[in-house]
Amino acid sequence: MAKAEIVWRPEVVGISVVLVNAPADFVATTLAGKVLTRRVAGERLASNRRHLHIEDAGGSHHVWLIEASSGASLAALVPLDDTASLRIAGLRRFHRLIDGQKSGRMPSAWQLTPRLRRRLVLMIRALDALPAKASYRDMALVFYGPAAVSRDPWKTSSLRGQTIRLVKDAISIRDGGYRQLLKGGTGTGRG
């Protein structure tokens, strides 16, 4: 089993599956062996917690075992927060995986659409341009090309407004808004 440092926080990442020892009356839950013997791509031990990153063709699984005894029956813990439905979707995928079925695609809230991926790339590029004191116009020229920028007067151009929003959203993501992405929201504005 490969050991790797895991850099996600299960309490923040909405797709995480949290497993604990099942109550004593639930002796029929025998999935612990399947969970612990499944191919683990990364693992981190921290006091009474075991963080597992399990690779899967449909998208990886992040599992947090809290005080789980080896060989014990396990139960899922789903905090009733704003990520509860996403956590349940992640739990369903994980349950299918350990039940020997295809886990299926990641929930749509956790997938990056091509448009969002492009926007995130532009946001990173904008953050790279800020220390160089690049103007919004300079950024727009690089992001969208000279032909698009010269199409309309810059002061009233829709690309100017789009570039300003892009930079503001990039700063927001940098300053903590990325947590919304981890929870399964876009957190990147309208675009």
The pLDDT tens digits of the residues spanning 117-149 come to 899 999 999 999 999 999 999 999 999 999 999
In this structure, are 140 and 171 located in the same domain?
yes
HSE of 90, CA atoms in CB hemisphere, 13 A: 29
pLDDT at 85: 86
Q: Is the residue at 9 inside a domain?
A: no
Q: Is the residue at 150 inside a domain?
A: yes
Read off the pTM: 0.63
In this structure, are 118 and 174 located in the same domain?
yes
In this structure, are 104 and 116 located in the same domain?
no
Q: Find the domain containing 53 and state its range.
A: 17-108
Question: Structurally, how many domains does the chain consist of?
Answer: 2
Q: Are 88 and 110 in contact (CB under 8 A)?
A: no
In this structure, are 138 and 154 located in the same domain?
yes
The DSSP secondary-structure symbol of 162 reads H
- Residues 95, 163: Cα–Cα separation, whole Å: 43
pLDDT at 35: 60
pLDDT tens digit at each of 191 positions of the chain: 455 454 566 677 777 888 888 887 776 555 655 665 666 777 777 777 778 888 888 888 888 888 766 667 788 899 888 888 888 988 999 988 888 888 888 777 677 788 888 999 999 999 999 999 999 999 999 999 999 999 999 999 999 999 999 999 999 989 988 777 766 655 555 44
SS3 call for 52: strand
Residue 55's CB is within 10 A of a number of other CB atoms, namely: 13
In this structure, are 21 and 69 located in the same domain?
yes
Counting DSSP H helices and E strands in the chain, the numbers are 7, 5
Last residue of a domain, one of 78, 108, 138: 108
Q: Is the residue at 76 inside a domain?
A: yes
In this structure, are 92 and 137 located in the same domain?
no
